[in-house]
Amino acid sequence: MREHGAAVDALLPKPIKPSALHDALATVLAGSEPRFKLDRAPESTVDKEMAKRHPLRILLAEDNAVNQKLAVRLLANMGYTADLAGDGLQAIAALDKADYDVVLMDVQMPECDGLEATRRIRAKWPDKALRIVAMTANAMTGDREACLEAGMNDYVSKPIRPAELAAALSKVPASSEVTP
Amino acid sequence: MTDETPVLDQSVLDELRDSVGGDQSFIADLAATYLAEGPDHLAAMQAAVSAGDAAAIVRPAHTLKSSSASLGAMRLSHIAREIEFAGRNGETSGLAERVSTAREAWAQTVAAMKESGLA
């Protein structure tokens, strides 16, 4: 993950609280390995031609209208169009009909959440070369591990930042590289 | 602690603007979607409280938390997050108060968005 963006040693949520500042400084001064990377970049640094260089068939599974619109827009800024699914069952149905390189999967959705959908997808198509990238605002400990255990490959935090999304997509083998 | 959280965090909005190349009409469209859906989420949360159904509050609270955070409505996002986790833990005590706090934060958010020219 560290090849993209700068590595940072600690994250300090705003508004900054004295205890959090103390903890962050303690982490930095203790000289521990960087645990987070800074994945922010203004849009001007986003590659508008990324989809041409690195074509991908993307399925976006997200039930929240605000976040769906935002994700579609951020993908469009990189030249990508995505098919949409409103929940996990719709995502599975879409995978039944067409091939995708990557599913951007919201973790909590109605009917069938992202974890359950991922388990079903992996069980149904064990040999499918498909990356599943979790999108979640849940900051609970163990969340990332739960995503990986369910069969997801990567993780993007919400609100989605363009550079973080681009980094996750760049790790997906491009459509032309995938043998059918 | 919750009261220290800004109703509308301009740094989040600045970052959102950056991420879409400063496209104000897109931000306005996003805000309109958010403002149109918010009352439905609050109503669903209220219905869950009235029914004493902690599990039913999780989804609308989660959605409100997540879309609020995308638009910088951090105070409401934090309150909704607390409600979501209380719902997940099956806690019904104090849930009615929390939902009424969420309603107040919603009203503050709408006012702040109007003031910022987002709505």
pLDDT bin (cut points 50, 70, 90) of residue A175 is confident
- How far apart, in whole angstroms, are the C-alpha atoms of residue A10 and residue B9? 21
pLDDT on residue B3: 63
pLDDT bin (cut points 50, 70, 90) of residue A112 is confident
CATH number of B2-115: 1.20.120.160
* Amino acid code (one letter) for B8: L
Q: Are B64 and B80 in contact (CB under 8 A)?
A: yes
pLDDT on residue A36: 47
pLDDT < 70 stretches in chain B: 1-3
For residue A14, give the nearest of B11, B21, B34 by CB distance: B11
pLDDT on residue B118: 85
CB contact under 8 A, B66 and A67: yes
With a cut of 70, say whether residue A45 has pLDDT above it: no
CB contact under 8 A, A14 and B4: no
- What's the DSSP call for residue A99? -
pLDDT on residue B104: 97
Q: Is the peptide bond before A15 cis (omega within 30 degrees of 0)?
A: yes
Closest by alpha carbon to A157, among B66, B97, B71?
A: B66
Specify whether A12 is located in the same domain as A93: no
With a cut of 70, say whether residue A74 has pLDDT above it: yes
For residue A68, tell me if it sits in a domain: yes
pLDDT bin (cut points 50, 70, 90) of residue A78 is very high
With a cut of 70, say whether residue A25 has pLDDT above it: no
Note whether A157 contacts B: Cβ–Cβ < 8 A: no
* Amino acid code (one letter) for A61: A
What is the tens place of the pLDDT at every residue in B51-74?
999 999 999 999 999 999 999 999
Specify whether A99 is located in the same domain as A167: yes
Specify whether A169 is located in the same domain as A86: yes
What is the tens place of the pLDDT at every residue in A27-37?
555 554 444 44
pLDDT bin (cut points 50, 70, 90) of residue A47 is confident
Question: How large is the ipTM?
Answer: 0.90
For residue A1, tell me if it sits in a domain: no
Specify whether A92 is located in the same domain as A164: yes
Domain hosting A156: range is 43-177
pLDDT on residue A34: 45
Specify whether A68 is located in the same domain as A130: yes
Specify whether A24 is located in the same domain as A82: no
Give the residue on B whose Cα is nearest the Cα of A70. Answer: B30
Q: What total of structural domains would you count in chain A?
A: 2
For residue A110, give the nearest of B11, B59, B69 by CB distance: B59
For residue A65, give the nearest of B12, B33, B69 by CB distance: B33
Secondary structure (H, E, C), B7-58: CCCHHHHHHHHHHCCCCHHHHHHHHHHHHHHHHHHHHHHHHHHHCCCHHHHH
Q: Is the peptide bond before A159 cis (omega within 30 degrees of 0)?
A: yes
Alpha carbon of A65: minimum distance to chain B alpha carbons (Å): 7
Q: How far is CA B6 from CA B2, B33, B70, B101, in A?
A: 9, 21, 14, 14
With a cut of 70, say whether residue A5 has pLDDT above it: no
Specify whether A148 is located in the same domain as A114: yes
Give the residue on A whose Cα is nearest the Cα of B27. Answer: A70
What is the tens place of the pLDDT at every residue in A137-149?
765 567 788 899 9
For residue A72, tell me if it sits in a domain: yes
pLDDT on residue A48: 87
| CATH number for the domain that contains residue A51 | 3.40.50.2300
Whole-model pTM: value is 0.80
Please indicate whether residue A5 or residue B31 has the higher confidence score (pLDDT).
B31
pLDDT on residue A143: 79
